[in-house]
Structure 1
Amino acid sequence: MPLLLGAAAAQSAAPLPSLPPAATFPLRIDIMSQRSYPGSDLVIEQTLSSGVNYKRYIASYRSDGLKIYGLLTVPNAAVPKGGFPGLVFMHGYIPPNVYRTTERYIAYVDAFARAGFVVFKPDLRGHGSSQGEAQGAYWRPDYTIDTLNAFASLRRFKTVNADRIGMWGHSMGGYLTLRAMVLDKRIKAGSIWGGVVAPYNDILNNWHRRDGGGPPPNSPSRRTRTQILETYGTPQTNPSFWNAISANSYLARLNGPVELQHAIGDATVPVAFSRSLATGLRAAGKTYTLFEYPGDDHNISRNLSTALRRSVEFFRRSL
C-alpha cells in the first residue's frame, strides 16, 4: 500500500496536562542532556524517482517509540573510503495538515544531493505519515528528540561516514539545529538559514511575524506557550528558567562551526535573531560566519544559488 505522504495528525483541543516543577521541565538543556537518542536503522520504505546523480527514497526510523518518515537521498557514485558525508536536513514550519514529504525544499535538497552528500530530511512527528502528534518545536522537546534520533539513525546508515555528518536547518529547523548541536557534540557543523535562534526573551517579545503565518491561535503550540508563561513566569520575572531551556545559554558546548544566512528584509524571522546568535558565538569563542542578503525573503529565494553554493562549500570544508 503506498505511503500517505500528507495526512498529519489531528490537532486536539483537549485540556493540557499539568506541568512539572521548573527544575525538571523536559525542555531544559540539562534534562535533555541526560536522555539517550539511539535512533535506529534507516528502513527504505519506498523508492522514488531518481535525481540527476543520486537516488531518492522514503525511509523511516524510530524516535520515542514512534515511526518517523523522511526523504533520503544517496549518491550514485562509488562509496568513498569511510563513507559519504551526510546531512540531516531540518525543514521549517509548515502546517502539519498540508505537509508533504516530497514537496518544498526541492532545490535545497537537490543542491546537497548533487554535491555528493547523503541527505536525510525527517518529517518530524505528526507530519506526513509520521506517527505522533505535531505540537510544535519551541515549547516541547518532541521535535528536538526526533532531530537527534534522525542524526543517530543517519550515523548508522551503511554508506555514511558516521564522523562526517552535519546539519542544515531553516527557520524552525534552525532552532532545532542549534539545540541538537549543543546536545550532541558529534554534529560536526551546522548551517542555519533564517533561523529562530535568539534567546527566549526575543522569541517571546521581539518576534512579530509580518507574513501572517505561524500556528493558529488555538494550536497545541500556542496553548502550551500560554500555559508555560502562566506556570513559570516570563523571562523578566524568572530568567533562570528561560535561560535553562535556551540553547543560546550553552554555546560553549558547540563542537563545530556554524554558518548563518539571513535576509535583511525577512518578514517571518527577523535578521536580528541571527545577529544575536553571532554575537553569542563570538563571545563563546566559536567559529561562525554570517551572510546577510538585502532585499530578500525568508527563503533567500532571490539569492538562492549563491546561498546554496556557500552552504555546500561550508559543509565540504567542515566535514
Structure 2
Amino acid sequence: MEHHITITSGTLELAATLHYPVQVEQTSRRSLDKLPIIIIAHGFIGNRIGVDRLFVKAARDFGQNGFMTLRFDYGGCGESTGEYGAGGLDALIEQTRHVVDYALSIDCVDPQRVTLLGHSLGGAVALLAAAKDKRIKTLILWSAVAHPFNDIVKITGKSVYEDAVQQGESDYLGYTFTPGFFNSLANHHPFEQIRKFNGDVLLVHGTDDEVIPADYCFLYQKIFWLRSQGQCDKEVVFQANHTYSSADAARQAIEKTRNWLIYLEKRREEWYDWTI
C-alpha cells in the first residue's frame, strides 16, 4: 500500500511517498503494533524515484519484508516546492530532520527502529543528520559522498563553481547555484562527524562507480570501526555504477540491504528474548 503525501519543512512542501508493509503479519511478533521505518534520502539534484526507479524498487522490496519506507524529494527537486540548494547543505539536513519528524508522528512507527538510507550526496546528508539527531538509530549509505565540496564540483565541473563565485550564481542542468551553496559544501566534513553516531551502519558501493570513488566505502568503514559503539558492515557490488543502473546491480544492492536489515531485526528479537 502506497500513499503520496506532503511534508512541511519551513515554507517548503516536500513531496513524499509512504509505503506500508504488504503483509504486516510477516513481521516479528513484537512488531505488529510498531513497525520499523526506512527513510530514503536521494542524491544531488535527484528525486524520490531514483535513476531507473531504484528507490521505488527498493521501497517496494522493503515493504514485502515488513518495513515501512518513506521516500521524499528535497526542496526544489521532483515534485517539492522551493529551489534546490537554497540554504546549502544545512537546509538539506534540516529538511531530512523534518521528514524524521513526520515519520515519528505515524502511530505505528517504532521510534527505536528508524533507519536513514542516503544515496550519493544524500548519504553525506544522512550521516550529518544522524550525527545531530539521536532519533536516527541506523544508517545505510549507498555510494556516499565523503568530501561534499570536491565531489560535487567534480560532478558539476569547476566552471560552474567559478561562474557562481564570479557572477553570483551559475546554472547546472537548469538548477541555479550560488556561492553560498558551494561554501556550505566546503564547511561540512562527514568523516569528522562519524564518531557522533553510535548506531549500526551498512555501506554499499559499486566497483564501477565513476562518480564517487569506491575507495570511499573502505575509508568510511575504517573510521566507523574506530567508534566504541555500533557495528559497520560493507557490501561491494561488482561492476555496479553509481546509480546501480543494471538490473543485476540494483537487485544486489537492494537484496544485500534488505538481508542486512532482516539480520538486525532478528538480532534485536534474540536480544529481547534473552533479556526477558
TM-score by length of 1: 0.67
**Is the 1:258–1:287 Cα contact (8 Å) retained in structure 2?**
yes
CA distance in 1, matches of 2:108, 2:263: 20
Matched with 1:3 is none
Q: Deviations over 1:92-134 (max 9, x none)?
A: 2345xxx576982221222112111111101111123322221
**Cα distance, 1:121–1:205 mapped onto 2, change above 3 Å:** closer
**Cα distance, 1:221–1:251 mapped onto 2, change above 3 Å:** same
Unpaired runs of 5+ in structure 2? Answer: 26-30, 161-170, 266-276
**Cα distance, 1:73–1:206 mapped onto 2, change above 3 Å:** closer
**Cα distance, 1:83–1:217 mapped onto 2, change above 3 Å:** closer
Aligned length: 244
Deviation at 1:81, TM superposition (A): 3.5
Deviation at 1:165, TM superposition (A): 1.3
Matched with 2:138 is 189
Q: How much identity, in percent, do the aligned residues show?
A: 19
Residue 278, structure 1, aligned to residue 224, structure 2: no
Which among 172, 180, 183 is matched to residue 216 of structure 1?
172
Deviation at 1:136, TM superposition (A): 6.7
Partner-residue secondary structure (3-state), 1:290: strand
**Cα distance, 1:262–1:100 mapped onto 2, change above 3 Å:** closer
**Is the 2:120–2:144 Cα contact (8 Å) retained in structure 1?**
yes
CA distance in 2, matches of 1:218, 1:90: 21
Matched with 2:2 is 56
**Cα distance, 1:208–1:65 mapped onto 2, change above 3 Å:** closer
Matched with 1:28 is none
Deviation at 1:150, TM superposition (A): 0.5
The one-letter code matched in structure 2 to 1:247 is: P
**Cα distance, 1:189–1:318 mapped onto 2, change above 3 Å:** farther
Q: 1:162-181 to 2 correspondence within 5 Å?
A: 162-181=111-130
**Cα distance, 1:166–1:210 mapped onto 2, change above 3 Å:** same
Deviation at 1:210, TM superposition (A): 11
CA distance in 2, matches of 1:307, 1:104: 13
Matched with 2:237 is 293
The one-letter code matched in structure 1 to 2:72 is: P
Q: 1:111-190 to 2 correspondence within 5 Å?
A: 111-135=61-85, 139-190=88-139
The one-letter code matched in structure 1 to 2:240 is: D
Unpaired runs of 5+ in structure 1? Answer: 1-54, 236-241
**Is the 1:100–1:128 Cα contact (8 Å) retained in structure 2?**
yes
Deviation at 1:74, TM superposition (A): 1.0
Matched with 1:49 is none
Deviation at 1:256, TM superposition (A): 0.8
The one-letter code matched in structure 2 to 1:87 is: I
Matched with 2:167 is none
**Cα distance, 1:316–1:180 mapped onto 2, change above 3 Å:** farther
**Is the 1:209–1:267 Cα contact (8 Å) retained in structure 2?**
no
Matched with 1:22 is none
CA distance in 2, matches of 1:269, 1:250: 19
Matched with 2:255 is 309
The one-letter code matched in structure 1 to 2:236 is: E
Partner-residue secondary structure (3-state), 2:89: coil
The one-letter code matched in structure 1 to 2:140 is: S
CA distance in 1, matches of 2:180, 2:174: 10
**Is the 1:126–1:132 Cα contact (8 Å) retained in structure 2?**
yes
Q: Give the number of the structure with larger relative contact order, counting CA–CA contacts within 8 Å between residues 6 or more apart.
A: 1
- Could you say which structure has the higher helix fraction? 2
Matched with 1:239 is none
**Is the 2:156–2:172 Cα contact (8 Å) retained in structure 1?**
no
